[in-house]
């Protein structure tokens, strides 16, 4: 089985970060980059499928600036076989632009599965996987939490609000991976050394037109202090009133 995993390089937002002077991007000073978490789960899913089959190829593909190969090499050190870097000065916020470039590179390559993370941990749009599938004319299952492949058919489970949906689909297909399916493995030191010798092809990304732009980026307002509305059961009516009228939570 030949599997493509699309990997996005994202700022490590679990660390401290701040908004840049332009008011619509992150301040680059001191920013560290990493693989988007969901893409790490997708890489893990691909590696497990290959390991279970005892054969196959896992190709990791990333689109973006100079820092992308370092992130791709992380996936190679986890065990992926080779990588493709689609070069672009920046990753457009418009998912369709990115999907156009990815589809142009994926088409005709004979992939049985094309895996994405459910969404990127920076922008969180969750559109590129489905849009790429549409561009390729392939079936697409989003946000899957379990996967079985047998012959030319796959079954995937999706967690819905209060229910679980199981979907079957023919290969080739595009899947986007939710958390909970598999934790990304920690690359071994030997894996890191082996990754240095694995090939990374580089070619320019054929991005589509960019029609979305970010107007502003703001941090959530600081939480103001709590308020005590009373004590004991007597306070309940007032609390309910405030929740309904002031917080509009009810």
The 8-class DSSP code of residue 158 comes to E
Where on the chain is the footprint of another protein (CB under 8 A)? Answer: 13-19, 21, 27, 30, 32, 70, 73-74, 77, 186-190, 192-193, 195-196, 219
Which tokens belong to 54?
């005892």
What's the min distance (Å) between Cβ of 189 and another protein? Answer: 3
End-to-end, the C-alpha distance of the chain in Å comes to 51
Residue 54 or 220 with smaller CB distance to another protein: 220
- Smallest distance from another protein to CB 54, Å: 20
Q: Shortest gap between Cβ of 73 and another protein (angstroms)?
A: 7
Please report how the helices 68-78 and 37-53 are oriented relative to each other, as an axis angle in degrees rounded to 10: 40
Closer Cβ to another protein, 108 or 221, answer by number? 221
The token duo for 183 is 């934790």
CB of 190 to another protein, least distance (A): 5
Of 59 and 71, the one with the shorter C-beta distance to another protein is 71
> What are the residues whose beta carbons fall under 8 Å from the beta carbon of 191, sequence distance 6 or more?
77, 78, 79
By residue count, the chain amounts to: 250
CA distance 69 to 52: 27
Q: Which is nearer to another protein, 217 or 243 (CB)?
A: 217
221/11 Cα distance (integer angstroms): 21
- Cβ-based nearer residue to another protein, 196 or 227: 196
In whole angstroms, the minimum distance from the beta carbon of 18 to another protein comes to: 5
Interatomic CA distance for residues 178 and 176, integer angstroms: 7
């Amino acid at each position: 089985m030949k599997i493509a995993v699309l990997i996005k390089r994202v700022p490590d937002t679990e660390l401290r970060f701040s908004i840049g002077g332009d008011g619509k991007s992150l301040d680059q000073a001191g920013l560290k980059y990493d693989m988007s978490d969901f893409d790490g789960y997708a890489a893990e899913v691909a590696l497990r499928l290959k390991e279970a089959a005892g054969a196959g190829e896992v190709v990791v593909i990333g689109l973006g600036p100079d820092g992308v190969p370092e992130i791709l090499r992380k996936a190679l050190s986890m065990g992926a076989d080779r990588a493709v870097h689609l070069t672009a000065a920046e990753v457009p916020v418009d998912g369709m632009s990115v999907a156009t470039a990815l589809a142009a590179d994926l088409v005709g390559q004979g992939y049985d599965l094309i895996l994405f993370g459910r969404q990127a941990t920076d922008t969180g749009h969750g559109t590129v996987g489905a849009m790429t599938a549409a561009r390729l004319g392939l079936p697409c299952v989003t946000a899957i939490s379990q996967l079985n492949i047998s012959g030319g058919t796959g079954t995937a489970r999706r967690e819905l609000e209060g229910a679980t949906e199981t979907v079957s689909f023919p290969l080739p297909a595009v899947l986007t991976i939710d958390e909970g399916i598999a934790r990304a493995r920690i690359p071994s030191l030997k894996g890191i050394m082996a990754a240095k010798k694995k090939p990374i092809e580089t070619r320019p990304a054929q991005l589509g037109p960019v029609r979305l732009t970010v107007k502003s980026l703001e941090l959530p307002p600081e939480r103001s202090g709590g308020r005590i509305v009373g004590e004991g059961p007597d306070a309940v009516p007032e609390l309910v009133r405030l929740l309904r009228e002031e917080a509009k939570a009810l």
